[in-house]
Structure 1
């Protein structure tokens, strides 16, 4: 086994994505990394099958669905201390050949990089904006309120960095769907904040890395494809409230003073209303799609 690199992922009934993840991983690096799967309660048998089929893959049961960041922390804790780099990735990522080695080479060029992230492609080949600014209260609110009804608004455009040249550069934070992290950087900030059940944990991680003196470096010469949300998209009534709760936690943590309490109250109330509207819209859309599917296919 390599003494330089390990790979960790969180599984929650990942289905066929997991085998694609492991199969393409073999072409992503010349290293021979141990893979730790932190399983949050899968019921499809995919993690068990991968554990049995791959000698370098280890299944770690977390005992329940403890969230993404908490499960990653558990997995990293199992890795030998001498491992210098840890790849953190969703199990629905497919690796381009050599992609991890490109990230490792970039880490040599950027000795202050705590996290390095690749160019993330959608399944249709379009680029996902995975390298972004850390949202402040104004830009975060503008994006949250207007992002769906006015996608080109200046707050969303600035936050998502979609108009930036695709180039290797330091950014505010990187998508947690795929990261190469220095173990020293991960340990220096105690990893992910496990209070985030899902969403925003990567924004928080990148922000805390920056405040601790590390860089978040976007490396678009490394490429991965992310199926994105195979588990989350099935349950909007659970995932959308979690997203809004995480958005509140992120801003509340950064506005903690007693005199900022009215701001926190307004933020909590506004996000709660927005969450209810978003859930109702998602449920309506799902019902419409199901009805159209039923008519089309005669079910």
Structure 2
């Protein structure tokens, strides 16, 4: 199992403590640390016998850190679990994913039901965003959540069933090692965000399936890292969104499209950062 740490605080303890209920199999957790300063990974490595600290040498991004840690695992391992350190495992979650992998031999990645801390279901199994529905969701998703592009992208109206989907949230994945290696792992050009969309899309293009397994469940306190530094994380999100679409529209005659996309995402990034900074200041005054 691999997780990426970046000053994860108490989240990491909850991750490791709840892991015992997720599977009957022995587990080793490689903590690929991207420069934590809170001491949590070091403390976890001392307290939990199955946790091993791997320093990446700096903040190399999520996908790059995952690739670095997976390279430490015996290539003969059939499966690798990748999960955020702010995940808490429900009983049998990993065993349910493994059972589904046996039923679906072409499943390259498998993802569980992801619950918010309040118990609501997060839309973790989605369609791969095309240019039109991706843009529609980006522009209207916050102000008009029921728009058709957002509905198509999030697939919230789909039946909750075990099924192949376009991509799965990278907050918790069971990866078939052969599939992961066959596409070169995560694309390390994505510093943060969209690396899971890209991975799912490339797996699908290579003939593998991304399988949603609702019987497996985790709780994810999402956004703890992004919330600390919105000035860095929100622009990174928008750069990743641009890279994803630009890679899929690479031709010379699509240059005007890429230019318009870049300009639109840059403007949206600036608006998002300004809004996040205002909200942080407002919260600070009320504290």
TM bucket normalised to smaller: over 0.9
| Cα shift readout 1:75-115 (whole Å, capped 9, x = no counterpart) | 00000111111000000000001110000000001000000
Q: CA deviation at 1:68?
A: 0.3
Residue 3 of structure 1 corresponds to which residue in structure 2?
Answer: none
Equivalent residue runs for 1:75-90 within 5 Å: 75-90=69-84
| Greater than 4 Å deviation, 4+ residue runs | none
Match of 1:124, SS state, is: coil
Residue 234 of structure 1 corresponds to which residue in structure 2?
Answer: 228
In 1, Cα distance between equivalents of 2:175 and 2:272:
34
In 1, Cα distance between equivalents of 2:277 and 2:47:
38
Paired residues, number: 287
Equivalent residue runs for 1:1-299 within 5 Å: 7-293=1-287
Q: CA deviation at 1:139?
A: 0.3
In 2, Cα distance between equivalents of 1:259 and 1:282:
36
Match of 1:252, SS state, is: helix
| TM-score in terms of structure 1 length | 0.95
Q: CA deviation at 1:288?
A: 1.2
| Cα shift readout 1:100-148 (whole Å, capped 9, x = no counterpart) | 0000000001000000000000000000000000000000000011111
Unaligned runs of 5+ residues in structure 2 are none
Match of 2:224, SS state, is: coil
In 2, Cα distance between equivalents of 1:251 and 1:58:
36
Match of 1:106, SS state, is: helix
| TM-score in terms of structure 2 length | 0.99
Match of 2:211, SS state, is: strand
Match of 1:277, SS state, is: helix
Unaligned runs of 5+ residues in structure 1 are 1-6, 294-299
